[in-house]
Amino acid sequence: MGLSYTSSTPVFWDGAPDGNLVSAITAAMTDEELLGQVFFLGYHGTQPSQEILLFIRNRNLGGLKVFTRNVSSLPQITSDIRTMQEASQTTRFKIPMFVATDQEGGWVTHIRKGSSISGGNLSLGAGGVPHDAFLSGYYIGCELAAMGVNMNYAPNLDIYTNPRADAVGPRGFSQDPVQVGIFGAAYLQGMMKAGIIATGKHFPGHGDADKDSHGYLPEIQIDSGTLYERELFPYRMAIHEGLPAIMSAHIAFPSITGNRVPATLSKYFLVDVLREKLGFTGIVLTDDMEMNGVLMSGDSVAQACKKAMLAGNDMVLISHTPAEQEAAWQLLLRAMHTDREFHERVAASAARILALKLKTFRHDPANPDAPVFSFLPDPGAVEQKIPAPQAPDFFFQSLCRGITVIRDGRIPYKPAPGERVLIAAHYADFLNEGKKRYPSADSLYIPWSSRYEAIGEEISLVTGRVPAYDTVIFCLSSESSLDILLRLSASGKKIIVISALTPVYLRETPWVQTAIAVFGESRDAFMAGFSVLAGDFTPEGKLPVDFIKP
């Protein structure tokens, strides 16, 4: 984007070398303009809120997070992103924003309307083909680029070491650090080829945590040697491959630090380990600062944000509440005026952020083949670009490579004459694909419920129907569905399980003789799972965790 300038104010799109421009812009910035760059905010609604537009226009906002709640259609979200990026160009230095989302693939896919749905990371690990991870990152990246999303909170570099790590589960590639490192690096390279800023998470590693940091502060009891050789191994590989951004985690490691301070607020992890020991030079951003995991000490969101910046984060993510965003702004701005250390930290982070933005959005004469992100997307063309060419076929073939037969007691399964079959699941797509394969079977939809008391209602719904059938084909995907399945163990019926998401719950059901893991929860995953059950093909996936006995 070539522009001419009549003022002496340095502008993002100027033709000066990146290093010179970073120095010139940051030197010219006010405290408010420096501080705006370190804020990463979410908003509500399917159009830009007034609060977010004011942050962009008046406070030089650094980053914008897109959630499922912001998307009604691909043209709509693309148009909104364009509107907000155009607003960024009304600021003094015309600095575009990072626009990020969580598009890991599989379970965590925040923009689902019209975009490709993959089998997910655990499926990739089961398939065992690193090039599939590369293409997953590439195709997901191409689709994000078409919408104007320039940063992805992926790859997930957590090692799935703890079977009770529900927050990770199918989001992890494997329990093997080397496999996670190889697949994470491949995914990263694919995304970089598409021009997307990849963000490794959740540093230094969430995969051994038995609690979710949205609600709690998980504690991982390992020593520093284990941390370096296991949790940090994928980061060491990804940093070597040019990882540009890392998300810090609200997780404590008391055996290492001697306290319960989450890594997000720990100089030891973010400076001593990440910067000095691992040599990371990119940007560090927090996980959402409204999560309980970072607030357990009693700090307000604003107070925690100040601590996070002083600990070594470059950007603070505040995803949900405009009042919390405003309170953080006011407290941090006061600190900019009165706390020299804090001011220097913010200025250093703004320089690092600006350097990455220049690398992303401007042509680099030293690397002319590097992709340059077009920060103003075209809403009229987005539906022609998504799904990305060849992506649907690739994702289906990839998830088929990942399907794993865990117990093969009745494969292939063909009902005997007169055999009464019930297909039961929380997913309508599972029932529909099952009926296509076994048209004489009956189906039972089990409603999802967030109320604990409703689990009893779900159990009664299923157990009341089962006596009338000989065989039940059941979808296992969660603790609530496990509760139902356990009640069928004494039913005397033949039980066939197709496991969606993580197959870890099969640990509790050794009496199930037929079990297939499909890892995803999409129509394609269920169609492929029923194809395996019927004997159409023999999958070659190998379970990338050793939690489940065959």
% of the chain residues with pLDDT over 70: 97
How confident is residue 7, by pLDDT bands cut at 50, 70 and 90? low
Question: Distance between CA 107 and CA 149 in Å, rounded?
Answer: 19
Name which CATH class applies to 403-534. alpha beta
Question: Distance between CA 385 and CA 144 in Å, rounded?
Answer: 10
Average pLDDT over residues 25-33: 97
- Cα–Cα separations (whole angstroms), residue 55 to 63, 305, 361, 362: 10, 17, 21, 24
Q: Name the nearest CA neighbour of 100 among 283, 273, 363, 327.
A: 283
Average pLDDT over residues 235-264: 97
Question: Distance between CA 201 and CA 221 in Å, rounded?
Answer: 19
Q: Name the nearest CA neighbour of 51 among 87, 15, 10, 5.
A: 87
Angle at 255 between CA 250 and CA 258, to 5 degrees: 80
Q: Name the nearest CA neighbour of 435 among 455, 449, 421, 456.
A: 421
SS3 category, 43: coil
Residues 6 or more apart in contact with residue 456 via CB below 8 angstroms: none
Other Cβ atoms closer than 10 A to 260: 12
Average pLDDT over residues 431-443: 98
pLDDT surpassing 50 at residue 3: no
Q: 20-58+74-388 domain in CATH 3.20.20.300?
A: yes
Other Cβ atoms closer than 10 A to 30: 11
Other Cβ atoms closer than 10 A to 48: 18
Question: Distance between CA 225 and CA 457 in Å, rounded?
Answer: 48
User: Where are the chain's structural domains?
Assistant: 20-58+74-388, 403-534
The confidence score (pLDDT) of residue 214 equals 85
SS3 category, 42: strand
Question: Distance between CA 268 and CA 275 in Å, rounded?
Answer: 10
Other Cβ atoms closer than 10 A to 196: 29
The confidence score (pLDDT) of residue 2 equals 38
Instruction: Tell me the β-bridge partners of 288.
Output: 317
How confident is residue 4, by pLDDT bands cut at 50, 70 and 90? very low
Instruction: Tell me the β-bridge partners of 219.
Output: 252
Average pLDDT over residues 240-253: 97
Contact between 502 and 479 under an 8 Å Cβ cutoff? The reply is no
Question: Distance between CA 528 and CA 22 in Å, rounded?
Answer: 51
Average pLDDT, the chain: 94
- DSSP codes joined into one string, 221-239: ---HHHIIIIITHHHHHHH
Give the predicted TM-score (pTM) of the model: 0.94
Q: Kindly report, residue by residue over 176-189, the tens digit of the pLDDT.
A: 999 999 999 999 99
How confident is residue 211, by pLDDT bands cut at 50, 70 and 90? confident
Instruction: Tell me the β-bridge partners of 496.
Output: 473, 514
pLDDT surpassing 60 at residue 453: no
Average pLDDT over residues 522-545: 97
- Cα–Cα separations (whole angstroms), residue 3 to 6, 89, 363: 10, 12, 14
Q: Kindly report, residue by residue over 304-333, the tens digit of the pLDDT.
A: 999 999 999 999 999 999 999 999 999 999
Q: Kindly report, residue by residue over 55-112, the tens digit of the pLDDT.
A: 999 999 999 999 999 999 999 999 999 999 999 999 999 999 999 999 999 999 999 9
